[in-house]
Amino acid sequence: MHEWALAEAVITAASEIAEKEGLKEVTVLKIKVGELQQIELDILEFALSQLKPDKFKNTKINIKIDKAELRCRVCGHQWIFSKEELDKNSAEAIHFIPEIAHTYIKCPKCGSPDFEVLRGRGVWLESIKGVR
Amino acid sequence: MGDPRISVVNERLKEIRNIIAVSSGKGGVGKSLTASILALALVKKGYNIGLFDLDFTSPSTHIILGIEGVQPREEKGIIPPKVHGLEYMSIVYYTSNYALPLRGEDVSNALIELLSITKWGKLDFLIIDMPPGIGDATLDIIRLIKNIGFLVVTTPSQLAFETVRKLVTLLKELNVRIIGVVENMKMNKSEFIQQQVKSLRVAVLGGISFDAKIEKSIGNTVSLLKTSFAKELEQTLEKLGF
């Protein structure tokens, strides 16, 4: 349920940008959600719909899922994150704080926890369109 | 376009009257012990207190305070459990005491994530146990928390103080409030550190004698508050008017 906290962050950040850009109404909000965090999209969408202020009343919210791609810093191996390879508790911990991945995920080739998340980490604001 | 989490950090902290980062240039000077006992002493005085362990790779306040078997509650964010009278947040809830090897960018990301999803109650003080040095966590805390004050811990060692000098200089350059410097593990009446701190034009909050018995009190908050360490730290609080 911490999708609500993330939704609040998205709405707050988008409102700040709309204000800065002088938008009277926001028509499209594009959000990217990384798979590593295993966000429950239904909850995120519901939270966004409940939290959006008047300026976002008719906003089309477009959520794109971004596959989580990891690269080992030791051997260079690159792989796609799969939730199925984790037990419930590990998956839940990564859901709250994606960096916890360094505790529970190892490079499938060399076993190192020293990897970078190339893409698909958290929730990102991609673009915002509106009427001035 | 960017990371939306930063926009909500100050909203999450808006009901906290004072935020104190317990920090040092070096590890092993007693930051975590100071942060933990400071939090307990303030609870004893009747304040609403939160303790946030930001030392992600080497957290230890949960061991000092004997905290286990509790988890944050989810409610449109995460709500830290109340233990020993204080709201307590640490990464150990999620790592189960396994190692968490993190590079700088990951430290920043984990820190921003926790600041943006943790819902603190109405607090008089939030005490933050910082990792040593002037790396990512320190820079992020300075960048993200506008009204923060630093309580700096050193030992009588010249080596520890040289790193503290750099930390204090950086904080002053960035116009960050420095509450003062505590000298921990004092073995004699030398005034060397006090003079050095004064020359930096920073408040000397006092000294805490080396407490050889404190190890026996680790994990027991009642016993911790009876140590000479706690008693001398409480005298420091008196000086601060807390």
What residue in B sits closest to A98 (Cα-Cα)? B110
Question: By C-alpha distance, which of A103, A99, A108, A106 is closest to A37?
Answer: A99
Question: By C-alpha distance, which of B20, B31, B59 is closest to B163?
Answer: B31
pLDDT, tens digit, 9 for 90 and up, residues A18-68: 999 999 999 999 999 999 999 999 999 999 999 999 999 999 999 999 999
Domain count, chain A: 1
Say yes or no: A39 contacts chain B, CB-CB below 8 A. Answer: no
ipTM confidence: 0.92
Say yes or no: B79 contacts chain A, CB-CB below 8 A. Answer: no
pLDDT, tens digit, 9 for 90 and up, residues B9-61: 999 999 999 999 999 999 999 999 999 999 999 999 999 999 999 999 999 99
Beta strands B177-186 and B204-209, pairing class:
parallel
Q: Cβ of B94 and A2 within 8 Å?
A: no
CA-based radius of gyration for chain A: 17
Structure tokens at B100: 């968490």
Residues in chain B with CB shorter than 8 Å from the CB of A128 are: 1
Predicted structure pTM score:
0.95
The topology (CATH level 3) of B5-240 is Rossmann fold (3.40.50)
A94 is in which domain, residue-wise?
2-131
Domain CATH code at residue A62? 3.30.2320.80
Say yes or no: A113 contacts chain B, CB-CB below 8 A. Answer: yes
- To test the contact with chain A by mutation, choose from B116, B120, B136 the residue with the greatest count of A C-beta atoms within 10 A, namely B116
How close B26 comes to chain A (CA, Å)? 25
